[in-house]
Structure 1
Amino acid sequence: MESDGKRGPDLAKRTREGSGGDDLVTALARLFPREKAEKIFKTPTANLANNGSAQHPEKRKAGGHGPTLEDEVVFLLNVDPDDVADDGPHTPAEWWGPFAKCVYRWEMFMGRQAPVPLMRGPRGGLKLAPKFAEWMMGLPDGWVTDVPDLTREEQIGRIGNGVCPQQAHEAFRFLRERLHEELTEGHTEESSSGDS
C-alpha cells in the first residue's frame, strides 16, 4: 500500500493479537535491519540537472527534502575532481567513506573502476560528474557522456531518465518466466479438461 511507504516499520505488530502478517515495509525492515544496512548512493534522477547547487544533506533534510546524489557526492566524499586512481580493480577506499562497500561491489560487477564522482563547474564549484552517474546506472563508458554536443545538464537528465540495463534485464527475465509458468499451467489445465 502507498501508505506503508509513508511510515516506518511496525516491528511490534507480530505480538499484537489478530495482527496478521507484516506489511511490506516491516517485512523489509526485518530482512535488512538498519544496523546491518550498507550505505548506498541515491539514484541519479532527471531533475538532478535542474536542482541548483548541491546542499549539505542535513540542510536538505531540515528543509523537508531528501538529499540528492549530487549532495552526497559533493559533501560526503573525500575526493577531489583532480584525483586519479592507481591501476587496479578498485578506486581508493578513502574516496568513498561509508559508500565504499557498494562502490567496490559495483566496480567488480562492472569490471572497471568508478570514475571520479566530482567535476568543477564553470564558476569553480563542485558538481556531480556525469561519467560517475553513467557508471552508477550500469551503462557502458561514454554511452551518454560521449554523445556530441550534450551539455552536462543534458547528460545528467538523460542518465537520470534512463534505465539501469541490468535491472531491466532481470525484470524481463522474471516476467518471461512468470508468463511461461502461466502458459504452461493453462495448457496443462486445458489438457486435463479435454481428457475427461
Structure 2
Amino acid sequence: MRWDRFFEDLEDQLDSEWEAERAALDSEAERLRVARLSLFERLSALSGSTEADVLVDIRGGASATGRPVAAGPDWVALDDGTSRGVLVVPFAAVIALGASHADVLRSARGGAPGRIRERMTLGFILRDLARRRVPVTLLTTDGREYSGTVDRAASDHLDLALHDRGTPRRADLVAGHRLVPFTAVAGVRLEAPVAL
C-alpha cells in the first residue's frame, strides 16, 4: 500500500516537471515569435478592421486618429474620417502609436501581409501617385503643408508641383516646385480616392 502511494507521488512529480518544462518552452517560443514581429505585420493585422482606431503621433507635433486601411513595409494609411481622403504616414515619421488594449493584443498575433504588399514601399506608393496625377497635401516633419501633385518620386526624394488644393495640375496653375527628401515627409494626404 505504501509503495503505491510512493509511485503515485513520483508520477505526479514527473507530470508537474513536464508541465513546467512545456510552459517554459511555450513562453520562450512566444518570446521568439514576438521578437521577430515587425510594425508592418502588427499594422497589417489591424488593417481592414472596422473597429480598430489607431492614434498616430507624428514628428513635428501633429497626430492623427483613424482606421488603418492599408500598411506597407515602411508606411501606414489611415482613414481618419475626414472628407479630405486617406493619410499615408511613413514609419520614419511615426513617434508612437496608440490603440486599445484589445487591438494591441490582436496586433501582437501579427498578420499575413502578402508578398506583394511587402514590396509596396513609400517610394512605390509615391511613384504610383505621380503616375495617376493624384492631388496631395504633403505634411513635413517640421509642420509645413504643401498642396500639389507629385511629379516624380526618386529613390529618396520626390518632386512636388505646387498648386491650390482642389485644382488640377496644369502648367498655368503651378505656383512652384519643391524637391522633398522622404526623410522630411510626415504624411501624404490623398485628395482623391485611391485604392492602396
TM-score tier after normalising by the smaller chain length: under 0.3
Q: Which has the higher strand share?
A: 2
TM-score (norm 1): 0.23
